[in-house]
Amino acid sequence: MVEALRAGRPIQKILLARNISRHSIIGEIVHLAKGKGIPVEYVPAEAFRKHSVALRHQGVIAYTAAKAYHSLEDLFRISKEKGEPPLYCILDGIEDPQNLGAILRTAEASGTHGIIIRTRRAAGLTDAVARASAGAIEYLPVAQVANIAQTIIRLKEEGIWIIGVNPTGREDYRRADFTMPVAIVVGGEGKGISELVKKKCDYLVSIPMRGKISSLNASVAAALAMYEAFHQRQAATHHKAN
């Protein structure tokens, strides 16, 4: 791993077991990672084992990106090139690669301009995510940011409204105006949107539920919101044409 870091291989994050011995190699890994801005996370041994596909992981795992990330400025440029109001989806802590892959697939199909994910405690663009996206990862720009709340502030500076999809939202998501410049926020599995990020949202909307289950899978919630945006924008375009 030290050689990979020295050679500048694209590594999105490094996991270290909390009980790992702090010998010189580990110290060098941490030093090189921090110098390159690569997040380093210490996780419990039992949680660490879930991340490893090898029987002998030696307490260290590096995640390489299956595709290069974009910057926020890239996303703004892409929206301008499309000649459409910006439409992004912010994922506040999606950890399941299958969910992230499914969201990428829906985002690409619905015309969403880009996805924004966070660096820590979240799934990144791994090979598993690439497979789950069924090819969408090749066409959809994904920006990875250190702080979602700070990123929202930057988006607002660009005139983008922030709509959070959360069970606590008082308004039906179908009543929100997705034809304006919008970033849709979806929270992590079982946790929802963090309190800090909720406070940064301009609106909190919810998806009506008639059954006994109180919430939907994160990828399903994201899909409904993105396709509502797709429907509203298609309807607005048709109305202008007539």
Strand partners, 55: none
pLDDT in tens, 179-229: 999 999 999 888 889 999 999 999 999 999 887 777 789 999 999 999 999
Instruction: Give the CATH H-level superfamily of domain 72-241.
Output: SPOUT methyltransferase, trefoil knot domain (3.40.1280.10)
Our measurement of the distance from residue 178's CA atom to the centroid of its chain's CA atoms, rounded to an integer in Å, reads 19
Query: How far apart are the C-alpha atoms of 54 and 2, rounded to whole Å?
Result: 19
Residues carrying CATH 3.30.1330.30, the chain: 2-64
User: What CATH architecture is 2-64?
Assistant: 2-Layer Sandwich (3.30)
Q: What is the 3-state secondary structure (H, E, C) of 175-235?
A: HCCCCCCEEEEEEECCCECCHHHHHHCCEEEECCCCCCCCCCCHHHHHHHHHHHHHHHHHH
DSSP state of 138: G
Residues carrying CATH 3.40.1280.10, the chain: 72-241
Residue 161 is predicted with a pLDDT of 98
Neighbours of 66 (CB within 10 A): 18
pLDDT in tens, 100-140: 999 999 999 999 999 999 988 888 888 889 999 999 999 99
Q: Which residue has the higher pLDDT, 51 or 87?
A: 87
Q: What is the mean pLDDT of the chain?
A: 88
The helix (H) or strand (E) run that includes residue 67 is none
Three-class secondary structure of residue 92 per DSSP: strand
Token pair, residue 20, equals: 């790992």
Q: Is residue 150 pLDDT above 70, yes or no? A: yes
